Structure 1
């Protein structure tokens, strides 16, 4: 039996400043730090005492800080940093105003080539590159036997964490979209009888209700 707790990092400065995120290394805002603490306490309440816990995160500051808050409530658990869990790279647009990207962005077509589509931004990853690195990171995480694994990632990358979990073929991921708010917890569960992989909850925000 295995449960994955997938966290989308809470509010960071690029959110409030209206800047493109991607690989732009923005920190959490003070509100984001408070939310990270709430996430950590919620996870501590959900995961039984004595359970084996693995903690993984993107290496950007906003996810690392979130993971550090989580690590603090699970004494002795240290986050494993993995750059493959980063958000999509937007190349030259990173750290630029969102409207700058909006004027240049070429959306994928409704039919035809979507995975290798050129979005018109110099240095940006294609969706195929983005998906393949998330899938590769997930392969390594899931190869480690552990009953509870916590993955701290980004809002866009969450889609492909979930897609990898349910074993969606990479070539089918061009249309996938699992949306979850910043600071949310998505729970993925594999039972120990049928070994089915469930999306038990998507984008839970109840821990931030107060």
Structure 2
């Protein structure tokens, strides 16, 4: 039996400033730190005293989310740059309006998988999933039954497709819109070994913050 708790980092400064996130290394806001503590509360209650492994993107907004969780379970955070959000290249850290003026829209048909949306240095979808899929494979090599992964919204969507065994070629259309600060629970059924999504994008713990 295995449970994976997929956490998207909560409110970060780039959300407030309306700038492009990606690899821009923004920090959590004061509210985001409160939300991270609330996420830690939920996971501590749900998992209890069982052993836990915690993995995180190396960007500050993710590690700042993972740290209070790690304190609750008295374990170290295992940092992995492969769990970063998609890079927007030269757009990272710039105003969202700057990116909107230059973005090349994803077509409905044609080669959606290899589409490049404009900014120099931005990752294509294959480049993104070709680092996320092996990152999850390495995490799953551990025999741990409870694992927490702290990442970012778009990246976490493709960690779900990886968990479900969807081929990379399917990621040209498959996407799970996730909210900052959400928890998604993935479960491996011990009877018929299926990979399940037990909960998707839980945000009830954020409602009064």
TM-score range (shorter-chain normalised) is: over 0.9
Aligned to 1:81: 79
Aligned to 2:63: 64
- Aligned residue for 1:6, secondary structure, equals strand
Aligned to 1:118: 116
- Provide Cα deviations, 1:77-127, integer angstroms capped at 9, x if missing partner: 111100110000000000000000000001221111112112111010001
Aligned to 2:20: 20
- Tell me how far apart the structure 2 counterparts of residues 197 and 127 of structure 1 sit (CA, whole Å): 23
Give the TM-score, by structure 2 length. 0.98
- Tell me how far apart the structure 1 counterparts of residues 202 and 163 of structure 2 sit (CA, whole Å): 18
Equivalences for residues 197-208 of structure 1 within 5 A: 197-208=195-206
- Tell me how far apart the structure 2 counterparts of residues 4 and 98 of structure 1 sit (CA, whole Å): 32
- Provide Cα deviations, 1:29-81, integer angstroms capped at 9, x if missing partner: 000000000000100000031x2211000000000010001001111x11110
- What is the RMSD of the two structures over their aligned residues, measured on CA atoms? 0.8
- Tell me how far apart the structure 2 counterparts of residues 108 and 197 of structure 1 sit (CA, whole Å): 30
Q: Are positions 1:130 and 2:167 aligned together? A: no
Give the TM-score, by structure 1 length. 0.97
Unaligned ranges ≥5, structure 2: none
Equivalences for residues 38-49 of structure 1 within 5 A: 38-49=38-49
- Aligned residue for 2:5, secondary structure, equals strand
Aligned to 1:146: 144
- Tell me how far apart the structure 1 counterparts of residues 31 and 151 of structure 2 sit (CA, whole Å): 18
List structure 1 runs of 4+ shifted beyond 4 angstroms. none
- Aligned residue for 2:53, secondary structure, equals strand
- Provide Cα deviations, 1:114-168, integer angstroms capped at 9, x if missing partner: 1211211101000110011110100100111111000000011111110000000
User: How far is 1:180 from its partner?
Assistant: 1.5
- Provide Cα deviations, 1:4-37, integer angstroms capped at 9, x if missing partner: 0000000000000000000000000000000000
- Tell me how far apart the structure 2 counterparts of residues 86 and 35 of structure 1 sit (CA, whole Å): 20
- Aligned residue for 2:62, secondary structure, equals helix
- Tell me how far apart the structure 2 counterparts of residues 16 and 84 of structure 1 sit (CA, whole Å): 25
Aligned to 1:209: 207
